[in-house]
Amino acid sequence: MVDEEAYVRYRADSTVLAAIGKHVDAQVGHVTVRLPRAVAEAAVAAWERDESGDLGEETSEQSTLRDQAGDLALIGLVISERGRWEGEEVVIDLNIVFAGAAVLASL
């Protein structure tokens, strides 16, 4: 049996988390990051891939992997449009949402 009261609390918690997110975004918004050439080029390659086609029904894990691949591709877009190469690194101003997604994927 589902504890509906718990989900009411979780929804309230989600609202508070979103409020914190708005404050963080207003203060941080973007972060400047340096990435090694190999991962930067892999991110750009993810952006340039053609991912058309229906995948069908996904498991939760598959959906998470697809979301992470999408985040990587969007980082690749930022690199290709605004990346500044400095030797073997690229410097980009990355939206905090994508920086956070990358950190979460590393955990």
The CB-based long-range contact list for 9-17 (8 Å cut-off, 24+ gap) reads: none
> Which residue segment(s) compose the domain that 100 sits in?
29-106
Angstrom distance (rounded) from CA 82 to CA 78: 6
Residue 63 lies in a domain: yes
How many alpha carbons fall within 13 Å on the CB side of residue 43? 23
Residue 73 lies in a domain: yes
Residue 1 lies in a domain: no
For the record, the structure tokens of 89 come out as: 């690194």
Domain count, the chain: 1
Taking a C-beta distance cutoff of 8 angstroms, is the pair 31, 94 a contact?
Answer: yes
Residue 33 lies in a domain: yes
At 54 the pLDDT is 78
Rounded mean pLDDT, 72-100: 96
Residue 53 lies in a domain: yes
Is 70 exceeded by the pLDDT of residue 1?
no
Residue 71 lies in a domain: yes
Residue 15 lies in a domain: no
Q: What is the pLDDT of residues 35-46, one digit of tens each?
A: 999 999 999 999
At 87 the pLDDT is 95
Element (H, E) at 31: strand 30-36
Angstrom distance (rounded) from CA 76 to CA 53: 21
Alpha helices in 28-59 (DSSP H): 37-48
